[in-house]
Amino acid sequence: MRIRQVKEVEIEGLGERIKQARLNSSKSLEQICDEVGVSRTYWYDVEKETLKGALSIENLRKIEQVLGVDFGVSLEGNCEI
């Protein structure tokens, strides 16, 4: 049996923090997007916080890994059954 839990949290200013981490990185935007596996358009939507829908935790973790930062975002919590 499969159980799915969908959880969204609002993290104010995360897009700007991602942008600053990119600007402080020695990697080019193209290199970052390549390593994360997203387009430049998607990346700019992340930075501007204009994504249609939410940024997946998987993509956030890839961004953190590529930029070498930890934004401190956690979706851990209790699941009530």
pLDDT tens figures, 22-71: 999 999 999 999 999 999 999 999 999 999 888 988 999 999 999 999 99
pTM of the predicted protein model: 0.83
Tally the domains of the chain: 1
- 74 falls within a domain: no
50: domain CATH number is 1.10.260.40
First to last CA, the chain: 14
Give residue 50's domain range. Answer: 14-67
Q: Is 50 exposed, middle or buried (0-12, 13-18, 19+ CB in 10 A)?
A: exposed
Min mean pLDDT across 5-14, 56-65, 72-81 is at: 72-81
- 21 falls within a domain: yes
